[in-house]
Amino acid sequence: MLDLVNAWMVGGVLLHLAGQLARGRAWHAVVCMAHGGDVTVRRRDVLRAWVAGAGVTGIVSARGGDVVRVLMLRRRLPGTTCATLAGTLAAETVAETACGAIVVGWAISAGLMPATGGSGLLAALGAVTAIVVIGIACTRRWERLRRLRDEAWQGLAALRRPGAYARRVLPWELLGRAVRLASLACFLVAFGLPVTPATVALVMAAQAGGRLVPFGPAGAGVSLAILAVAFGTVTGEAVTLDSLAAFVVGTSAVLTVVGLALSAALILQTLPLPALRRALAARNAEAGAAV
């Protein structure tokens, strides 16, 4: 029988996965709005692609996970393009980013995170703006880029329907955020750390700060640095760096292993294994005949 600590750990993992499924449902709504009734978008295909991408994100970056999502779903939606699906991911991220900005803004205003985190966000937004401006300038000259621009614009269709976005996408994003807060609370209990609404929100803000680093494992170091500075202030208790490190590294390791296992299983399901086996058998037969 599982002891109490392991039970909290399992609960945290299950809630984390539930949060991923909630965000996957939000993406499904965005993909449906981008394609209207022209393409049949199966919910299970979108959810599989989303969870597979989340597993890859644990070792590379959010953008690496998005590549996996686009490629996996593209195989299941013959009537779409990679540029359109990339646009849907950008549209889905708007609500998620807004929720994260609220949490990070609270941490900065409370003096728990350095204000430079805001300047980093502004720098990232400036870089995105520059890329968009350059892209628009290029599309005026190159037909292929104009086509990609139009396809990406189709993926952003949900943002042009704010009422539908609020009804069909935002509730799933809020649910995903709430479930992840509950997941973090379970992990805090599992590692014997104080659990209050403020500490859970702080951990979420620290994770958001860590995701600014493009390489997943390095982001855990940024999260640990933020918690080391602010955790004692929030709790009013002396919390050792070793305890915080065990929490950050342990939680990250568990979620990464679980995510990679699920990602590998889901990606293998999409591969045309029978066709590959037939091709390999044919190649072996030709090699045997040549001998």
Segment 141-154 shows an average pLDDT of 76
Q: How confident is the model at residue 5 (pLDDT cuts 50, 70, 90)?
A: low
**pLDDT on residue 97:** 79
Residue that the structure tokens 């539908």 belong to: 164
Choice between 3 and 282, residue whose per-residue pLDDT is larger: 282
pLDDT greater than 70 at residue 122: no
Inside any domain, residue 147? yes
Inside any domain, residue 241? no
Give the number of domains in the chain.
1
Can you read off the two tokens belonging to residue 48?
């599989």
Contacts of 202 (CB under 8 A, 6+ apart): 107, 112, 227, 230, 231, 234
The alpha carbon dihedral of 167, 92, 105, 200 has a sign of positive
Q: What is the pLDDT of residues 155-191, one digit of tens each?
A: 889 999 999 999 999 999 999 999 999 999 999 999 9
Burial group, residue 243, by CB count within 10 angstroms (0-12, 13-18, 19+): middle
Q: What is the pLDDT of residues 266-280, one digit of tens each?
A: 888 877 655 555 666
Inside any domain, residue 33? yes
- Average pLDDT over the chain, rounded to whole? 80
Candidate ranges 99-103, 118-122, 266-270; pick with highest mean pLDDT: 266-270
Inside any domain, residue 243? no
**pLDDT on residue 224:** 78
* Full domain range(s) for residue 129: 4-191+255-272
pLDDT greater than 60 at residue 213: no
Burial group, residue 285, by CB count within 10 angstroms (0-12, 13-18, 19+): exposed
Segment 210-234 shows an average pLDDT of 70
Choice between 151 and 21, residue whose per-residue pLDDT is larger: 21
Segment 115-143 shows an average pLDDT of 52
Choice between 89 and 5, residue whose per-residue pLDDT is larger: 89
Segment 56-62 shows an average pLDDT of 76
Q: How confident is the model at residue 290 (pLDDT cuts 50, 70, 90)?
A: low
Inside any domain, residue 289? no
**pLDDT on residue 123:** 46
Inside any domain, residue 156? yes
Segment 31-49 shows an average pLDDT of 89
Q: Please report, rounded to a whole number, the percentage of residues in the chain having pLDDT higher than 70.
A: 73
**pLDDT on residue 121:** 47
Range with lowest mean pLDDT among 1-10, 147-156, 177-186, 280-289: 280-289
**pLDDT on residue 142:** 64
Give the ranges where 156-238 is alpha helix by DSSP (H). 162-168, 170-190, 197-210, 216-235
pLDDT greater than 90 at residue 25: yes
Inside any domain, residue 39? yes
pLDDT greater than 90 at residue 50: yes
Inside any domain, residue 229? no
Q: How confident is the model at residue 117 (pLDDT cuts 50, 70, 90)?
A: very low
Q: Cα–Cα distance between 18 and 181 in angstroms, integer?
A: 11
**pLDDT on residue 164:** 93
